Amino acid sequence: MQVAASRKLFSQAQTVIPGGVNSPVRAFKSVGTDPLFIDRSSGCRVVDVDGNSYIDYVCSWGPLILGHSHPEVVEAIVQAASKGTSYGAPCQQEVEMAAMICAAFPSIDKVRMVNSGTEATMSALRLARAYTGRSRIVKFEGCYHGHADAFLIKAGSGLLTSGIPTSPGIPAQLAAYTLVARYNDISSVQALFEQYGQEIAAVIVEPVAGNMGLVLPELGFLAALRDITNQFGSLLIFDEVITGFRVAYGGYQTLIGIQPDLTTLGKIIGGGLPVGAYGGRRDIMDLIAPQGPVYQAGTLSGNPLAMAAGVATLKILQDSNIYAQLEQRCKHLTEGLGSVFSEAGERVVINRLGSMFSVFFTSGQVDGYEAVMRCDTERYAAYFRAMLQMGVYYPPAQFEVSFVSMAHREEDIEATIEATRRALESLP
């Protein structure tokens, strides 16, 4: 495995980009090596600038449910680009995308397109505060909702990886409006509502936590959140930036039959291009400018290229067989990995939902922030490096989620299981 070209690029990048990367987890700091610079991708594989090919379970952090460079998605982008890359004006594709989202999610009457998941959650929070006339929000330890100031309090994702509980630059007065509860612990939510109930505008939650690794909600947890927000007149916001169209065509909320007041989306609805969205009940969404007083705008919102890629992706996902196939492939992979880890005597817990999974180097149930923080991050880092040598690209952090795409074939899954066996044999 040659890495000279990646190392040279990383050295150059550090002189002109903070930390040499444009998103912290890409720096590979928590896995003890330098980042790979990707040159191209196709199907389930990425190829770095040194020519090394890897089976990819990052999938651009989730959007590429069909795999890299899917022909129909690429063709949609090419066709859209031939007509212009940006208008700063309404286009047909954004209307089509909005209609598809509203049809897929019973909780969404109207939707506003933005450019990222962070924009979506930030805008949904402002809208919730305007609708309720309240200022406080409740979020959960280890749940990441983008890098807006209100959310960087005990956040997940790269902040867990870096060991940073919050971020400098956030005024203490603003941070005080964010109340933090424990994921899967409804008593911690009830305690906050008992003290601040009439001040809480919204509870925002990843219905399936995906930014401290994959942590599934316990039975009744989300239903209890719906009940308590109804009781106190607060809004319930489901952050389905990761799970929307990933675990089911209408997101996780359709699987459990719970309707939030607002939903945030991203990733898959852009087909690999930058995108975000937030939507919900008509009476709430009608407060957004220009119809209402809550201001939010974006030059590239509803960009025709992103909309074309997203629409092409969603049309393919309407095939009901796809999610069953993804489920089967991911189950095959995680069961195979589990057997190999067990044979090697490794203390590992694998959480899986649909085509999402996380390998935690720990023992016992991984059901929340405290359990996640007991993981052996050094062991994960060693496993990551060994797998990279075997041609398998996992997320470069213990606290991220791996993804299986439609481009991962049985032979790729078997190759990954065998690579794991050989990787573990190479570890001390």
Q: How far apart are CA 66 and CA 245, in angstroms?
A: 11
Measured from the Cβ of residue 411, the count of other Cβ atoms closer than 10 Å reads 9
CATH for 71-317, options being 1.10.10.10, 3.40.640.10, 3.30.70.80, 2.60.40.1930:
3.40.640.10
Residue 139: which H helix or E strand, with range?
strand 136-140
The catalytic position among 48, 57, 267, 367 is 267
Structure confidence at residue 165 (pLDDT):
45
Active site residue 267: yes
Q: How far apart are CA 196 and CA 232, in angstroms?
A: 10
Contacts of 9 (CB under 8 A, 6+ apart): 37, 49
CA dihedral 18, 22, 23, 26 (to 10 degrees): -90
Measured from the Cβ of residue 75, the count of other Cβ atoms closer than 10 Å reads 12
The catalytic position among 48, 239, 261, 367 is 239
Residue 39: which H helix or E strand, with range?
strand 38-42
Q: In 244-390, which ranges are E strands?
A: 262-266, 276-280, 349-353, 356-360
Q: In 207-281, which ranges are E strands?
A: 235-239, 262-266, 276-280
Tokens at 27, concatenated: 């720096």
Cα 333–354–45 angle (5° rounding)?
A: 55
Active site residue 144: yes
| Radius of gyration (C-alpha) of the chain in whole angstroms | 21
Residue 2 burial class via C-beta count within 10 angstroms: exposed 0-12, middle 13-18, buried 19 and up: exposed
**What single string gives the DSSP state of each residue in 46-104?**
EEETT--EEEESSGGGTT-TT-BT-HHHHHHHHHHHTT-S--SS--HHHHHHHHHHHHH
Structure confidence at residue 164 (pLDDT):
42
Contact 60, 396 (CB under 8 A): no
The catalytic position among 144, 183, 252, 278 is 144
Structure confidence at residue 163 (pLDDT):
39
Structure confidence at residue 162 (pLDDT):
39
Per-residue pLDDT of the chain (428 residues; tens, 9 = 90+): 889 999 999 999 999 999 999 999 999 999 999 999 999 999 999 999 999 999 999 999 999 999 999 999 999 999 999 999 999 999 999 999 999 999 999 999 999 999 999 999 999 999 999 999 999 999 999 898 988 777 876 554 444 433 344 667 777 778 788 999 999 999 999 999 999 999 999 999 999 999 999 999 999 999 999 999 999 999 999 999 999 999 999 999 999 999 999 999 999 999 999 999 999 999 999 999 999 999 999 999 999 999 999 999 999 999 989 999 999 999 999 999 999 999 999 999 999 999 999 999 999 999 999 999 999 999 999 999 999 999 999 999 999 999 999 999 999 999 999 999 999 999 99
DSSP structural state of residue 152: -
* Biggest alpha carbon–alpha carbon distance for the chain: 63
Bridge-based pairing state of the strands 178-181 and 136-140: parallel
Active site residue 239: yes
Q: Which of 253, 250, 278 is nearest to 265 (CA)?
A: 278
Q: Which of 151, 146, 354, 350 is nearest to 250 (CA)?
A: 354
Cα 316–322–323 angle (5° rounding)?
A: 125
For the chain, report the end-to-end CA distance as a whole number of angstroms: 20
Region for residue 169 given its phi and psi (left: phi exceeds 0; alpha: psi -120 to 50; beta: otherwise): left
Say what the pTM is.
0.95
83 — phi, psi (to 5°)?
A: -100, -5
- What residue spans define the domains of the chain? 4-69+320-426, 71-317
Find out whether the peptide bond into 290 is cis, omega within 30 degrees of 0: yes
Bridge-based pairing state of the strands 262-266 and 235-239: parallel
Helix (H, G, I), strand (E, B) or coil at 188: helix
Can you say how many angstroms the Cα of residue 159 is from the centroid of all Cα atoms in its chain?
14
Bridge-based pairing state of the strands 178-181 and 110-114: unpaired
Q: How far apart are CA 195 and CA 90, in angstroms?
A: 45
Tokens at 173, concatenated: 């007065």
Topology adopted by domain 4-69+320-426:
Aspartate Aminotransferase, domain 1 (3.90.1150)
Tell me the sheet residues that pair with 181.
140
Tell me the sheet residues that pair with 43.
68
